[in-house]
Amino acid sequence: MRPDAEAPGRAMTEIWVDGDACPVRDEVFRVAERRNLIVHVVSNGARGVRLPDHPRIRRVIVEAGADAADDYIADNIAPLDVCVTADIPLASRCLAKGARAISPKGHPWTQENIGSALAGREVSRHLRETGLETRNASFTGNDRSRFLVALDAALDAAARPAAQAFRIPPGGF
């Protein structure tokens, strides 16, 4: 259990940022401030990510290693939380724990699209191994705007589950 966690089954959404190469950290901080949420920025410390000095922004530095930050997030994320990551396997692990995940470009990862994303990642890896060059599109201002919309949508959805537990069916009872 993470050291800052409240009692098991906490009802407060937190944001987890895969922090080493995240281009939207500042946007996450602004949204979290507006919504009064805790943000965990997880990195291996190799890049010296600068963070604002704020009590709800928590720096988590993990040991060096290819998946150490991913492992920490996947081990500590809770069902109401949102993870910001471009890492498709990490997004899959977060979804498996009932959390939400979105990419820095504003793409929401869901149970419906994560399988094809993992398969596409594997195809790209195979192409690189055979010598073909694969590239990701550069990050744009439109991506930043799309991310802000997706983050607000994910946080709104995280706030709804308890309220939607009891629903009156269309047409009444």
The token pair that represents 151 in the structure block: 């983050």
Tokens of 82: 């949102």
* CATH at residue 72: 3.40.50
Task: Say whether pLDDT at 42 is over 50.
Answer: yes
CA-nearest of 85, 103, 82, 94 to 154 is 82
Range of the structural domain that residue 110 is part of: 14-134+141-159
DSSP alpha helices (H): ranges in 6-159?
Answer: 25-35, 68-76, 88-96, 114-129, 141-159
Two structure tokens written together for 146: 């799309």
In a domain? residue 149: yes
How do residues 118-169 score in pLDDT, each as one tens digit?
666 566 665 667 777 767 778 899 999 999 999 999 999 998 865 454 555 6
Q: What is the pLDDT of residue 136?
A: 72
Note whether residue 116 is domain-resident: yes
Give tens-digit pLDDT for 5-16: 443 556 789 999
In-domain check, residue 7 = no
Torsion angle, CA of 83/85/89/94, rounded to 10 degrees? Answer: 0
Check whether 1 has a pLDDT greater than 50.
no
- DSSP-derived letter for residue 138 is P
pTM > 0.85: yes or no: no
Give mean pLDDT, residues 53-77. Answer: 92
Q: How many domains does the chain have?
A: 1
How many other CB atoms are found less than 10 A from the CB of residue 144? 16
